[in-house]
Amino acid sequence: MKLIEGEAPMFEKLEIFRMAHAMATHAGARQTVVSQNIANADTPGYRAKDVASFAEQFAPSAGEGAQRATRAGHLNGAEGPYQVAMIRSDEGANPNGNTVSVEEEMMKAVEVQRQHDRALAIYKSSLGLLRTSIGRR
């Protein structure tokens, strides 16, 4: 199969692959924020950050079946599925103003790892189905 310069392979245009990619990208973004929180656990005044859940960010904003941008310039350039690093509340702040709970961040790190593993499993399973459908194993 010959690729035309600037075009993506056919399988990248399938929604299941886009979703698996988005899920893995979201997990990477959230892991970055979690690791920053842990690194700043003793920084006075540091406010713990988090990324909205994948379900909230991947879901259509105007109800089921709403349109979503698939490339730059599509739908007036409304692209990008994530709002990274939203600030959490000041609830549970230490006397020095730090809101990081290392225990919570470790639980989030495990959750992020599971999300990334799930994204890879979806990708591998879908790729296997695609290979089977075209007669390749």
Residue 1 maps to a domain: no
Report H helices in the chain: 15-39, 54-58, 102-133
pLDDT attached to residue 75 = 47
CA distance 66 to 86: 24
Enumerate the β-bridge partners of residue 67. Answer: none
List of the chain residues with pLDDT < 70: 1-13, 59-91, 136-137
pLDDT attached to residue 92 = 72
Residue 113 maps to a domain: yes
pLDDT attached to residue 95 = 83
Residue 96 maps to a domain: yes
Per the structure, the count of domains in the chain is 1
Residue 5 maps to a domain: no
pLDDT attached to residue 59 = 67
What letters, b where the CB count within 10 A reaches 16 and e where it falls short, cover 14-38? eeebebbebbbebbebbbebbeebe
For residue 31, the enclosing domain spans 10-133
End-to-end alpha-carbon separation of the chain, Å?
A: 17
Predicted TM-score (pTM) of this structure:
0.69
Residue 124 maps to a domain: yes
pLDDT attached to residue 79 = 44
